[in-house]
A and B are shown apart, each in its own frame.
Chain A
């Protein structure tokens, strides 16, 4: 319903009316419509001037694009005639009139629902198109590291920049400032910072310890960031590893915690780091896969004291019925304060409440989808929490665990594991494109990267039905 547009507003009296002559075509609208694009826009500036002038204001722009922009302001949705113009034309024109924020709202995808999403685009960098890592932001933009390059795509998925780093291959990337990427490589030492807009190297941080000769050529394995710190795990050529907190504004090391020798699976470098805004803790996890299956740990540190607040080592902890079923991947749902792990052997999804961690905090979610009975277990699995849903990639298959809405009578006695349902996000033919290597959520988009596949898939939900015409 377009009721957001109040009737009395459109029925405005004559003095609120504005005549515009755009490229020779006459338009008539109201001051309030022109001002709905924001107080700083060109159109609202024009509307102020026009109030006293009986002659139409002349704007030397294309009238057809303007009619789309005017419809957008009137109805706060894009008319279908917008399809006649390219995304970039519309964005440029909206920028000219200063109403780009309206356009952005209208062009953004609806809330992401894994149960109803499809591939809307595949982003393919022009060269070296095999992404090694990527980082997504809340506005739905994505920075992709491919080979030694970083390509940036903005909220509309338009390509904005590609820069070349000194690395041969960037294997971890994190957008730590709006224009600054923190990058690391498994083959070259140091955490480096690049300014994307200028394409310049702006700083670096290295793990050095003159008192310990084993510490040299430390490479970055994982990067996380909080509002004012960056956390990075470093590993030396002989597996010694540690985590550093780096100040975001000075790019200097603030503290070090979790240093370990790396002599066994239980003290390998953390391959994944997540900062928890609620408790200001850092969750790190490490997984190795060898001849005897998966092994690894999940640890929660308090970066201020450097203490381990909680940890789980697998195999070797947890309930006896789950022995030999160590996790294959872990992710944190930061908004819900929950930890999810995907079991390597059974394929089950385990959930732990970060506020109530203990000896064995795991709740194993039950799977009730008949069509998925024969799946799970002994597969390459990745897990990513986004928008209150848990996305799991198993080989090439993409599935989602989503919570069922409960009614007013949805009893409190119901066990928490009963409210998750498992569904495929993709179709069979999607799964055949390749093994899913990495999943990232950004805004209402899900980005999926596959092994040995060029480009990144973009998954979105849509309110519009896809109808295939039959003729």
Chain B
């Protein structure tokens, strides 16, 4: 709350009384913007940052007061001045187009403040999101994978193209890639993304402005065959890529430096000999768990016994798997890890049930999934987990089932009251489920992917040539 700090400071100088009046006045800056006069304080204007026109102005000597003129639109400036004062956009901003506000904030160098007030991830309110709009894609290719970037920007791969939307979802650009289709996509910065495909060798770091390939990363496997990308993940400074040799006889996870793109190490390297199915399954999901410094890698395989898979937690530094679970019965259809909840969540392929494993108790004794029983069954029919997607975001876990999204959240209970309730003395965690959306938003085609960024949730659906945006109505502009 910048305004608070400023006003308190001003009050202090007044109350202490030792300052001559002119000194207090010199704190007030008068600016003429496009013919209208505005008054503010040096402190407020300083929030625009040292490179802004505004801080240049407040540094001017009082004798140059006539020079405090900015040749810009006064109405837009009044909105942005409110933003500087309060950190929030005033409600009259609703009568302006966001695109004008963005370009004006770029001029004053205060776009980050605008981003914070409109698309900060702290504004994401899982219980209060609703379907707000559909982002259209040109052409006929359906989105194959989506990746959310910083502050809710979005990259959508459709066919051989990637369309990127900026944080405001107002501007877009489309590039053409060398891939016939893209299966894995990760936003690296606002200007580049990593893309890979299961039928095209190499991981490409692609510039999103012109579509130029900045680097192609390949795994030099033993048979010298090309390698395809099965999954991409990242931490703050590392880029993880799950490769499989195109002969499908070896796989590994390569670790790169996220900034230099130089290879750091190679972990989870498996060469397949004989009929050992387990090592033949490349990881198709990579998630970094910052609190424990481990990488979750999971892969599954459709074989004679049905779907089988494994989930491992890797210590990237030592290159060792510190924990592993083999999925035989009710293998995961999708799995994710929530750092906030310190648990791995899966949705079982055959039962469709959501289960979790607590990260804090892993390796203690028998490791088993704790199934999240539902108090009420909304659709009494047969449950199937095939095609379900599960993703953790913040302190919630989102699981798509058919055309709907379930929200699982933990309820922290007073320990005594909980054991009284269950009566069995078991110490478990309490998770409860909600369905997201109003009745009018329910249904729709099967959800094919979920992504989260800024204060928004993004959904793609089967046969829908657009991306659905969900956000809370309060933060919408």
Using a CB–CB cutoff of 8 Å, the interface residues on chain A facing chain B are: 1-3, 5, 7, 9-14, 17, 19, 26-30, 33, 67, 70-71, 74-75, 77, 79-81, 113, 115-118, 368-371, 402-410, 421, 423-428, 462-470
Contact = CB atoms under 8 A, between A and B. Distances in A.
B159 A80 contact: no
Interface residues of B, number: 62
A427 B464 CA distance: 12
B53 A10 contact: yes
B134 A115 contact: no
B174 A113 contact: yes
B67 A14 contact: yes
Nearest to A19: B35
A427 B465 contact: yes
A319 B276 CA distance: 50
B245 to A, nearest CB: 21
Contacts of B136: 465-468
A261 to B, nearest CB: 46
Contact of B66 (A1, A14, A30, A424): A14
Nearest first, the 10 closest Cβ-Cβ pairs linking A and B are: A407-B213, A80-B97, A28-B35, A116-B174, A424-B140, A368-B180, A466-B136, A405-B211, A465-B172, A468-B134
Given A424-B140, A463-B171, A468-B466, A369 B69 contact: no
Contacts of B172: 116, 462-465
Contacts of A70: 34, 73
Interface string B162-202: 01010001111111111011000000000000000000000
Interface stretch (B99-107, B259-267, B425-433): B99-107
B73 A29 contact: no
11 contacts: A2-B107, A30-B69, A70-B73, A77-B103, A80-B97, A370-B159, A425-B138, A427-B140, A428-B140, A465-B169, A470-B133
Given A7-B53, A405-B213, A470-B134, A28 B140 contact: no
A376 to B, nearest CB: 15
A79 B100 contact: yes
Contact of A29 (B66, B71, B140, B441): B71
B389 interface: no
B304 to A, nearest CB: 29
Given A28-B32, A371-B140, A407-B204, 6 more contacts: A14-B66, A75-B107, A77-B103, A79-B100, A117-B138, A403-B176
B175 to A, nearest CB: 7
B138 A405 contact: no
Nearest to B175: A405
A27 B176 CA distance: 45
Nearest to B75: A67
B132 interface: yes
Contacts of A11: 53, 56-57, 67, 69-70
B216 interface: yes
B135 A467 contact: yes
B141 interface: yes
B317 interface: no
B135 to A, nearest CB: 6
Contacts of A467: 133-136, 169-170, 469
A74 B159 CA distance: 40
A369 B180 contact: yes
A197 B328 CA distance: 80
A407 B134 contact: no
Contact of B135 (A28, A116, A462, A466): A466
B128 interface: no
B420 to A, nearest CB: 44
Contacts of B165: 465
A115 B174 contact: yes
A115 B97 contact: no
Contacts of A403: 176
B238 interface: no
